[in-house]
Structure 1
Amino acid sequence: MENNTKTFIEYFGKLEAELSEIVKKEYNGNHLPFYEKIDKSSNHSAVVKKYANQLRTFGDLRNILAHNDNRDIAVPSNQTIKEIKYIHNLLIHPLTAFHIAQRKVKKFEKDTPLVDVLRAFNKERYSQYPIYDQGQFEGLLTDNGISYWLSNQLSESTISLKDIKVEDVLIHDQKKANYKFIPSTMDIYEVETLFDEIHREALFVTDDGEPNQKILGIITRSDILQQRE
């Protein structure tokens, strides 16, 4: 297991160098204690924030190895080597919003007949669609929004969808903040927090997170759950 010890020390040095790089603009990162580097870096890196406890465990192990001549007292396991390599790789090659976004994004104009969207819901099994007005983003139409609109029509003996347009339903959707535009480079751990903050139906990925830019993909809560599995 001697090779594991050498590998661990090597990757610990790489991790510490990455943490120093993250905080170098605000601090002289090379002179901060390792645990303080973790705390400071957590404010700037969602990866560090997510794996902070694991990084501290690495620091504890490194101290044991560094201050004991008999290194057999603690030998990094194969699992530990796998984990330290994995976290290091995330720091230098973080997964981004663009990586996990669904590329196929179907959109509708606001004057589209509602029945056309209902057919799309049924055929494609998506639960939300972006709505546009001649290229200008208007909002997100969801199956929940349609259900809410229908429930408000129950006072009528019959409900005719013949002349109903998407815009008629969209203006009654209560969840006006159920979406957000994000930049393609946002890392997935920061993406996760956007779903945790409030109930959002979807995140739209564009180059710089601006709604007037081309949508590169869409991220839903189920996409995040798949990443956590």
Structure 2
Amino acid sequence: MGSNYQHFMHAFNELHNVIAKKVNRDPETNFGELMGAAAKKRDKVIEKYLNEIDFYRELRNLLTHNTINGDEAAAEPSNSLITEIEMVTEKIKYSKTAKDLFLKKVRQFDINDSLENVLDVINQVRYTQFPVFDGDKLVGILSSIGVTKYLAQAMDKDINAIKKATVRQILEVEDEQEFYETISENTSVFDIEEIFSERIKEGRTTYVLLVAKEKQIKNQNDLIGIITPWDLPKIVANK
């Protein structure tokens, strides 16, 4: 058998082992069963490369069961194919997650903070959406759109009264407070992209993902990152 035959079989076996680990199955599990488990789990990384993986499996079966004169392989895998299967294996093994790309200190407000303070922060940063806490309880997202709407409705008020308005009052005029959800730091970029795709189809173009270690925010320290639609290019680039 040619050396590329051996290299391909080694690369395929490594792919087999990586998929087995990904779906929490024994490495001795039949490859078809592993792919069935991945389908049930809806593993987005494996789904992305499903056609390629099916081709590798068919070629593996061809090489395993067919030889010429009992010695030569029926086909000789190319170097580029072997490189490709190794790349796919790496993508599955080391797929990027929220914690790899989006962990950062999140600027947030207390529900009793003043509008004057909010405007000062907005003037300094490029963010347009901010988590709001009432003590340690997450109560919503403050958006620049909400701030603008509040200001538009308060035009007949004294400027000092407007400055003293609180985040609580601004949240009351936000059109929608259910435009965010919390995800685990281990959520893959594939799952993140799917969430945004589904929300955009629903017309929720300002949807926000809050990143937490365990997918729950019980206090302010649990919030360790934030992802907005503006981050989609970064998500796509890291798939």
TM-score exceeds 0.5: yes
Per-residue CA deviation, residues 164-211 of structure 1 (Å, 9 max, x unaligned), is: 221111122122221111121222222222222223532111121112
Per-residue CA deviation, residues 83-117 of structure 1 (Å, 9 max, x unaligned), is: 32233223333322111114121111111122322
Residues 1-229 of structure 1: matches in 2 within 5 Å? 3-23=3-23, 30=28, 32-34=30-32, 36-44=33-41, 45-69=43-67, 70-71=72-73, 73-78=75-80, 80-150=81-151, 153=153, 156=155, 160=159, 161-198=162-199, 199=204, 201-213=207-219, 214-229=222-237
Distance 2:105 2:236 in 1: 22
C-alpha spacing 1:146/1:82, structure 2 compared with 1 (3 Å): farther
Deviates more, 1:202-211 or 1:64-73: 64-73
C-alpha spacing 1:24/1:158, structure 2 compared with 1 (3 Å): closer
Per-residue CA deviation, residues 70-90 of structure 1 (Å, 9 max, x unaligned), is: 547452342x33332233223
Deviates more, 1:126-135 or 1:49-58: 49-58
Q: Structure 2: any 5+ residue segments left out of the alignment?
A: none
Q: Offset at 1:30? A: 4.3
Structure 2 SS opposite 1:117: helix
Amino acid at match of 1:219: I
Aligned length: 222
Structure 2 SS opposite 1:129: strand
Deviates more, 1:83-92 or 1:134-143: 83-92
Deviates more, 1:98-107 or 1:84-93: 84-93
Distance 2:158 2:75 in 1: 75
Superposed CA RMSD in Å reads 2.8
Structure 2 SS opposite 1:203: strand
Amino acid at match of 1:75: P
TM-score calculated relative to the size of structure 1 = 0.81
Distance 2:122 2:62 in 1: 58
Distance 1:140 1:183 in 2: 18
CA contact (8 A) 2:103 2:226 kept: yes
Per-residue CA deviation, residues 137-181 of structure 1 (Å, 9 max, x unaligned), is: 111112233344445x28x55784323221111122122221111
Q: Structure 1: any 5+ residue segments left out of the alignment?
A: none
Amino acid at match of 1:127: T
Amino acid at match of 1:52: L
